[in-house]
Chains A and B, each alone.
Chain A
Amino acid sequence: MEEIVKVPKQAEKGSGLTFWQRTYVPEIVRGLKLTAAHFFGNLAVHIFHLLGLWTEHRGAATVQYPEEMRGYSSRLRSLHRLTKRADGSPRCVACMMCETICPASCIYIVAAEHPDPNIEKYPESFDIDLGKCVFCGFCVEVCPEDAIRMDTHILDFAAYSREEMIWDIHRLLNNEPRRAEGIGQIRKMK
């Protein structure tokens, strides 16, 4: 038997308020008191911090982005990078698996013949249009060569034009991972 849930047609307003709540002013005062307590409490903590005192006690929970950044989960899918062989050339062999699986069709690879027949194939160009990417991570999962990763923890790659959002092989190869120590840890940026 199905349980029938009755959905109220209208939000219920004002019912169940006590007399004191209805008088309005005392509630406002109570709210302001809470805000003011946090404000002055944090102000005091930050002043102590400036004087080098009481540093083991954290102030407001706000992260001072972008001066400070939080560490992300190691599973986080962030900006892509292409990994390198020992000699610095891309590990990617231009197999087009990532290009094929990409649901946003935002990977553009041009393959070429590698002079070494044991490598055989390499990407002459490898562009990702981050303006289209949906950060699904399929490209990473499908890669047979561990050539593409999304572990840089870089999320601030906004740009002023669509063209700048297209990252080419040089930028992707030189994306050094920027990883903080674990979740919740705050890291000061230089």
Chain B
Amino acid sequence: MPTLTIDGQPITVSKGTTVIQAAEALGIYIPRYCYHPGLSIAGSCRMCLVEIEKAPRLEVACYSQAADGMVVHTITENVRLARRSVLEFLLSNHPLDCPVCDQSGECDLQNYYMEFGLYQSRFLENKIKRRKAYPIGPHVMLDNERCILCSRCVRFCDEVSKSHELGIVNRGERSEIALYEGRELNNAYSGNVIDICPVGALTERDFRFQCRVWYLNRTASICPGCARGCNIEIHYNVLRPYQSKGKRILRIKPRFNPAVNKWWICDEGRYGFRHIDASNRLRECEAQTADGVIPLGMETALKTAAAWIGESIEQHGKDSVGFFLSPELSNEDLYAILKLARHLGISKIDFRNPGEHPGFEDNFLIRGDKNPNRRGCVELGLYHRQRENGGWMAEEIKQGTLRMLVAFLQDLSLEPEFKAALVSLKRLIFVGSNSNATSEQAGLVLPSATYAEKNGSFTNFQGRAQRFERALVPLGDSLPENELIARIAAHFRMPEQPFEREQLLLDLRAEFPFFDQSTLDPPDVELAYQTTIAQREHA
């Protein structure tokens, strides 16, 4: 266990730890381009040079292993000079496209140049022209002029996605990043190269020119795309809506969580936010009447919903009402529904798991179960019936014992048995964010908020309850499900219910030991997004 001193602070680290890691443990950030904690060490950019006492010359912090008695200085006059020279070399063929470069604002060339740059250029030669702005895959655009050949993207494709699409071709100042012949950067994780590229060489096709990065607001969230529950950050633009043509969410970035997704997310999750501002979002309550669909105010709609449930219970008994949940609901939403059902004595609760026929799965992040909170449903005791996909409910509807259904989010008519059964249902209330065939059949539609518009937590397949934060104001009249339920509950003289997230969570943990014991990931785990760390350090 070597003990070394970095900038006057002693630290003991395990054998094999590099200087850059030891410094990071002390909270000292050493500038870097090629080093990335999730990739192998290249040692090629020379930006992390530090001064080590008794060493004849400056050493790269990313490759030097900590040794006992080592005394490291991360910022001395020599180090500054070295970094300035490294930057001068990097810029010798750099186009300085900052005005049109999407990276600008979160670019490590810009960030480090502000600190170490040589502001008076000495360069007289002509810069080498290279190919600019061309797509190398469905999500990624490459600009060879801006590339600083740090090889992070190459190492990512070799070591993380293991798909080996990229390489460095040619030699000397002619070397550049290129795709292998006949290949395309289309692996399931291709978007991550955009995040790890420290400059604007790799940019996001989907995000290009939508918004300047300094206009973006950021909120920590959890990807609802599959049971992994990757930690993400939602980047959205609400201050300048005209810039992105009304789209609010502009991109998703991964957040570092060593136990779940490390630094990465899959492309499916990265681009899985489109339903939030889609044209089929339900914005107001709707009721089906003899004259067609009419919009309703929230209060009237909730009152109607409560009246329907009350009537059905009164006339046909508690077993005439069923709740059909979805594993896309948060723990808090599910718990609120459970509480209401208990108060009303409703026992017919089930959920349909669309992941019954598992989708694509790999041995890295992507899970076959495409629901973020199936584990939460199970742990809340909603899966005890072990009947397939709530098919028993379809049976009961057909027999006429189940007369009324409150369905959440999912399109029931995708299931053949339900498609037939829904017709014989007397009353159907649909609670969901986007319209589908079921919402069109429902007598009453209550619009609900998407994950980006509410606070809550999802339990991933490992059993980690991970919290997500509200980024946006819910669209139109829509409200989080637990709030809708709370307001319906108010009509049933249910004792004052805490539908505040914190209180719900406390109650949930008190009642279900599983949630008490599971790790509750706070939404502030460090960003996986390297440049943001750099920005924070250099702010």
Contact = CB atoms under 8 A, between A and B. Distances in A.
Interface of A: 93-97, 100, 108-113, 117-121, 144-145
A110 B242 contact: yes
Contact of B99 (A110, A112, A113, A145): A145
A100 B208 contact: no
B132 A110 contact: no
Nearest to A95: B99
A56 to B, nearest CB: 53
A64 to B, nearest CB: 43
Nearest to A108: B242
A114 to B, nearest CB: 9
B16 to A, nearest CB: 44
B100 A121 contact: yes
A117 B208 CA distance: 13
B512 interface: no
Contacts of B104: 95
Contacts of B97: 120
Contact of A112 (B98, B209, B215, B240): B209
A113 B134 CA distance: 12
B133 interface: yes
Contact of B209 (A111, A117, A118): A111
B212 interface: yes
B243 interface: yes
A96 B214 CA distance: 10
Contacts of A95: 98-100, 104
A128 to B, nearest CB: 13
Given A110-B243, A118-B132, A97 B209 contact: no
Given A113-B208, A117-B133, A119-B100, 17 more contacts: A93-B99, A93-B100, A95-B99, A95-B100, A96-B212, A96-B215, A97-B99, A100-B215, A111-B210, A113-B209, A117-B132, A118-B132, A120-B133, A121-B99, A121-B100, A121-B209, A145-B99
Interface in B74-113: 97-100, 104
Interface residues of B, number: 19
Contacts of B131: 117
B212 A117 contact: no
9 contacts: A93-B99, A93-B100, A95-B99, A96-B215, A97-B99, A117-B132, A120-B132, A121-B209, A144-B98
Q: Which 3 A-B pairs have the closest CB atoms?
A: A95-B99, A117-B133, A121-B100
A108 B215 CA distance: 13
Contacts of B215: 96, 100
Given A96-B212, A117-B134, A120-B132, A109 B243 contact: yes
Interface in B389-434: none
A108 B239 CA distance: 12
Contact of B243 (A111, A118, A119, A145): A111
A100 B99 contact: no
A130 B209 CA distance: 25
A133 B245 CA distance: 24
Contacts of B210: 111
Nearest to A127: B242
Contacts of A97: 99
Contacts of A111: 209-210, 243
A108 B210 CA distance: 13
B119 to A, nearest CB: 15
Interface string B131-174: 11110000000000000000000000000000000000000000
Interface in B215-251: 215, 240, 242-243, 245
Contacts of B245: 110
Contacts of A94: 100, 209
Contact of A144 (B99, B208, B209, B240): B99
Contacts of A113: 208-209
Interface in B190-225: 208-210, 212, 214-215
A182 B97 CA distance: 38
A111 B250 CA distance: 14
A113 B210 CA distance: 10
Nearest to A109: B243
A145 to B, nearest CB: 7
B233 to A, nearest CB: 22
A110 B233 CA distance: 24
Contacts of A93: 99-100
A120 B208 CA distance: 10
A118 B100 CA distance: 10
A57 B133 CA distance: 65
A109 B208 CA distance: 15
A94 B98 CA distance: 11
A103 B212 CA distance: 17
Nearest to B134: A117
A40 B95 CA distance: 69
Contacts of A144: 98-99
A115 to B, nearest CB: 10
A113 B209 CA distance: 7
A166 to B, nearest CB: 12
B328 to A, nearest CB: 34
A110 B132 CA distance: 22
B100 A100 contact: no
Interface string B347-360: 00000000000000
Contacts of B132: 117-118, 120
A117 B132 CA distance: 6
A3 B132 CA distance: 68
B140 to A, nearest CB: 15
B103 to A, nearest CB: 13
A148 B428 CA distance: 59
B101 to A, nearest CB: 8
